[in-house]
Amino acid sequence: MIVAENLVKEFKVAERGPGLMGSLSTLFSREHRLVRAVAGVSFEIPAGTKAAYIGANGAGKSTTVKMLTGIMTPTSGRALVAGLEPYRERRRNAAHIGVVFGQRSQLWWDLPVPDSFRILRRIHEIPDAVYRRNMALFQELLDLDALGNTPVRQLSLGQRMRAEVAASLVHDPKVVFLDEPTVGLDLVLKEAVRRLVNHVNAELGTTVLLTSHDMGDITAICDRVLVVNHGEVVHRGTMHELLRTADTRAVVFEHHGAADEAIGLIVKGLDGASATLTEDGRVKVEYPVARWTARQVMGFLLDHFDVTDCVAPEPDVEMVLRRIYAGRAAV
C-alpha cells in the first residue's frame, strides 16, 4: 500500500557566516551546501498494517512523510501510495489519504471546527451515512462538540489536535499518515486517539503510518516498526524484533536470603552484569547478551540462591532506541 523506493531528498542550504554580517552575507552568497535529509530510504508497508516510523530529531521522518503525502517531490527515487505517486497526482492522492501534521493544520484557521468538517464533507463528497457514522464515532471518543464554535486559531494545541485527528479520518481514507498525533493531549485523550486509530484499522483496514516520539503511541498502535537514523532505515520488523536487538537483558528474582549479599555475589560471579534492588525488594540483574546467555544467568541464580520467583522483563524500548540513535546498533 505504501512503497518507498530508494527515496532521497536533498536541500540546498546557503552557507552562513557567524554574527549579523554572516546573516546578511547569506543573502548575496553563492556558497551552498547540500543537506541530505533522506538518504535512500526503501520500504514496503502492506495494506492494513499499522507501522511506526521512528527516529531521533532530524533523522528525516517528516521529510519522508512529506514526500509520501505529496507535499514534497523527492530529489530521486520514487514513492507509491495506493498505486499513485503522491507528488505527481496530489489531488487524486488527497482523496484516499488522511494526514495529521503536528505543525500544519488541515482545518480552516478562522472558522469553528464544525464548519471545517462541513467543508471537508463537500470536498471529499462523503456519503451521508459515512459522514454520520464517523461524526458519531468522533463525538463518542473525542467529544468534538465540546470544542463549540471557537475559531480554530483560538483552540489550545490539545483541542486542535482532537479535531485534526478526526479530520484526517472523516472521509474513510485508505491510508492515514499521523505525525505526532497525540502531541499536547492529556492521558485520557491520548488513549482515545489510540483507540480511534485502532478502531478504523480493525473496521476498515486503514493502513497507518505513525511518526511519534511517544513510545506509548507506538506500542499501543503499531504492529511494525521502521527506525530511521541519519536519513536511512536502520531497523525494520516487529516491535518484538526491535526489542531483541537490545545489548542487555534483565532478570528480576525473589529469594530467601539477604538482597545485598546476593547483589555482591552476582556482580562478582557474572562478569559485566549489574545487580540492583528494586523498589519492591526484589533483585534485578542486567547482563550483556554478548557475554552471557539466559541459560547461564538462570543457572547461576539457581545454583547460588533459594529462588522463589523469577521474571524476565521485556527490554526497555527507549533504551533500545537510544542505542540505535547513538549509532551503536544498525540492524
Ligand X SMILES: Nc1ncnc2c1ncn2[C@@H]1O[C@H](COP(=O)(O)OP(=O)(O)OP(=O)(O)O)[C@@H](O)[C@H]1O
Name the residues that contact ligand X, by CB under 6 A: 11, 13, 35, 37, 55, 57-63
d(CA 53, CA 264): 42
Nearer to ligand X, 112 or 231 (CB): 231
Nearer to ligand X, 34 or 319 (CB): 34
Say if residues 73 and 90 touch (Cβ distance below 8 Å): no
Distance from chain centroid for Cα 212: 3
Smallest gap from Cβ 217 to ligand X, in A, equals: 13
d(CA 204, CA 199): 8
Smallest gap from Cβ 311 to ligand X, in A, equals: 34
Nearer to ligand X, 30 or 122 (CB): 30
d(CA 279, CA 168): 43
Nearer to ligand X, 71 or 312 (CB): 71
Smallest gap from Cβ 325 to ligand X, in A, equals: 11
Nearer to ligand X, 103 or 149 (CB): 103
Say if residues 70 and 93 touch (Cβ distance below 8 Å): yes
C-alpha count within 13 angstroms, C-beta hemisphere, residue 155: 26
Smallest gap from Cβ 106 to ligand X, in A, equals: 18
Nearer to ligand X, 13 or 136 (CB): 13
C-alpha cell at 282: 526484589
d(CA 32, CA 34): 7
Per DSSP, helices labelled H in the chain are: 19-28, 61-68, 90-96, 113-123, 128-142, 157-169, 187-204, 215-221, 239-243, 259-269, 294-304, 317-325
Say if residues 29 and 202 touch (Cβ distance below 8 Å): no
Smallest gap from Cβ 230 to ligand X, in A, equals: 9
Query: How many of the other CB atoms lie within 10 Å of CB of 75?
Result: 15
Nearer to ligand X, 8 or 35 (CB): 35
Smallest gap from Cβ 233 to ligand X, in A, equals: 12
Smallest gap from Cβ 20 to ligand X, in A, equals: 21
